Amino acid sequence: MLSDKARVQGEGQDLLARISATMEKADWGGMLELARRLSRVGRTFIGGAGRSGLVARSFAMRLMQTGLEVYVPGETITRGAQKGDLLVAISCTGQTGTTYYLAQRARELGAEVVVLTTEPDSPLAKSADQIILIPVTAENIVRRAAVFEHSTGLCLDAVFNVLSKQLKLDVDDFRRRHANLE
């Protein structure tokens, strides 16, 4: 019989293997196109609900550190979207009501919509100008969502790294934009 520590370690190793397999199959061309879009658009809005919303907030923070104008819908300091802006919507299933609404509203306002999801035929994906597939498979939705969120966060960190090089962000620029009231 396995000890509690061995069971936890086994679960961690299983998640890591699933994340690695997902990263190998991720849409890296789509990620590169996202990096290019981010440097061309007006304002960027990043949205998602639940844990996907936490991934969205993390990516929004990273984009702010590049000097881009970025907002999280629902925050009190979020400006209005308009033509020429971009919404990046994150949802594992592509069926989250709040995220779907954000995409529909962004389209009505003339903004482009990029969706990161596991479900290319979902309602959210169908509203996108660009779909970035994060190909997670798991029999259990809880495990599937966890692998999606971790993989998406890593993919978006890669987008940040590429974007930082495109924008020629240096360490001093990064430090000036990094939070310092903590």
| Per-residue pLDDT at 182 exceeds 80 | no
Confidence tier at 137 by pLDDT (50, 70, 90): confident
| Backbone torsions φ then ψ of 109, nearest 5 degrees | -85, -5
* Phi, psi at 106, each rounded to 5°: -60, -45
Q: Is residue 6 part of a domain?
A: no
Give the structural domain span for 87: 26-169
- With beta carbons less than 8 A apart as the criterion, state whether 143 and 11 touch: no
**pTM for the model:** 0.92
8 within some domain: no
Given a cut of 90, is residue 126 above it in pLDDT? yes
For residue 27, what are its two tokens? 């849409």
Does residue 178 lie within any of the structural domains? no
Total domains in the chain come to 1
Q: 117: pLDDT confidence band, cut at 50, 70 and 90? A: very high
In a domain, 52, yes or no: yes
In this model, does residue 74 exceed pLDDT 80? yes
Residue 108 lies in a domain: yes
* pLDDT at residue 3, as a whole number: 87
Tens-place pLDDT, residues 148-181: 999 999 999 999 999 988 888 888 877 888 877 7
Whole-angstrom distance, CA of residue 120 vs CA of residue 12: 28
CB 151 within 8 A of CB 135: no
Catalytically active residues are 149
Token pair recorded at residue 161? 């790294």
Any domain includes 121: yes
CATH number at residue 131: 3.40.50.10490
The answer to the question of residue 163 being in a domain is yes
Total length of the chain? 182
